[in-house]
Structure 1
């Protein structure tokens, strides 16, 4: 099916799942597209079967809490940030509900978590104004960047570079092989006092960067020039025309660079 404007406008809610007692704070698709996993403020992780359209299993992280859940390249393991006790990132086996590894280091809440599309490395950003580079095979931080503000970050589709959105006003691009030398490109955006950036994502072809905010708006940037544009290159900022959006739980480009999806709390 080709995702045209008419097709997208024809979409309707088919099922509603009420598995959670509190807000869902994040969800992620497995790499094979067969399952979705969600994390919630009620400390649960719910696994859904996309083919059957029903929940498969519920796990809990009562001690540590769970946020920013991400599948690894294996469909039976995930990483997620903690929102209780400390700010350690945890690597969990869904098969036996056991932790494989902990990744300590951040001293404040983790705001971004992104798996590399090509290997077992991942990056995290935190309110402690740092971005850390990790490898699933080691609990030790593989790289550390101190920033001048709160970051959101993500790998590009080829896993060669990553972008850091800093203080909701600047996007910096880094070469993964030489990130310690500083960014190779910096885009300064007009600061909007009414909202803060909550997420960052590259399009599938790496040509666009999507920024979510807590102000009911999404911004799309040209990844090469830093110019603010929309999916159809005519509108600067994309709003929900029916009502103000809550801070997005998940943003992602799907199928083509012209289509993106956004999930909010309501």
Structure 2
């Protein structure tokens, strides 16, 4: 059974070991997402499959396929038995899927190029999508019509804050704009300018669970940790491999104290978010770049993936 009460401190982080490896995919797992109650993990893969895992039992529950449309950027919605995902074939429509009976509930067509950012609100039925067509769109799961639209001047990354009141958009690997969801059509209420990343692109943006910081992941060898209120750069998290320049996901622990990222050498790296110090390099049985890493929101468990999926648990022994 998963441990929930253990406190996440540095020795515990260092003690994480792979407890289970799943080898069900034939191609790269491109996205993973935990349900809000931590009981379930969902993954999408370049092999067009969607796999649902039971986190407490450490087993695969079921596999769904999206051979016709392909699948990327899968996310649970508010209801644990539904998910949204982007398409990799035919068109760039976002699809709303019932996991219970593997049927599509609704389609969200609008983007004319690949969707590169997709995130759901933590509090309601809103979700955000950004595309290489240089647009950002705001949606409501209950309507196929776009609720809001922004024309941008570059590739976007974006996400909601933990309260679901604001969203942040990162543009051109150099600026972050903050919008109030109720008045986003009036423009951003704050803009942060960072030194532009010349040798890599921003590929992901996340708020910490406490809402105080933001994490910007890249396809290079650095992760930016930023103050969410004033945009100041707090730490550059470095020291991991990314030889192939792939987008590597970085994620916070639920207490916002630690940051985890994959690397191209099959390891998972961990940092202290307060001081930016590297804590651990956790070795796994990953055969390729670890492009997805997330910490379970409720339980003491980490998940990471390349073509394989690995579940990590603390052993209490950091030697």
Alignment correspondent of 1:256: 255
Larger RCO, structures 1/2 (Cα 8 Å, 6+ apart)? 2
Alignment correspondent of 1:54: 59
Alignment correspondent of 2:237: 238
Alignment correspondent of 1:18: 23
8 Å Cα contact 1:112-1:151 kept in structure 2: yes
Alignment correspondent of 2:122: 117
TM-score w.r.t. structure 1 length? 0.94
Alignment correspondent of 1:152: 157
Alpha-carbon distance in structure 2 between the residues aligned to 1:41 and 1:220 = 29
> 1:190 aligned to 2:190?
no
Alignment correspondent of 2:146: 141
8 Å Cα contact 1:118-1:159 kept in structure 2: yes
Alignment correspondent of 2:207: 202
8 Å Cα contact 2:219-2:242 kept in structure 1: no
What CA deviation, in whole Å up to 9, does each residue of 1:200-249 have, x standing for no partner? 0001111101011001321110011111113xxxxxx11245x3376355
Alpha-carbon distance in structure 1 between the residues aligned to 2:259 and 2:12 = 14
Alpha-carbon distance in structure 1 between the residues aligned to 2:53 and 2:32 = 10
Which secondary structure state, in structure 2, belongs to the residue aligned with residue 7 of structure 1? helix
Unaligned residue ranges in structure 2 (runs of 5+): 1-5, 263-289, 292-305, 307-319
> 1:31 aligned to 2:36?
yes
- Which structure 1 residue ranges, 4+ long, deviate > 4 Å from structure 2? none
Across the two proteins, how many residue pairs are aligned to each other? 259
Alpha-carbon distance in structure 2 between the residues aligned to 1:248 and 1:259 = 20
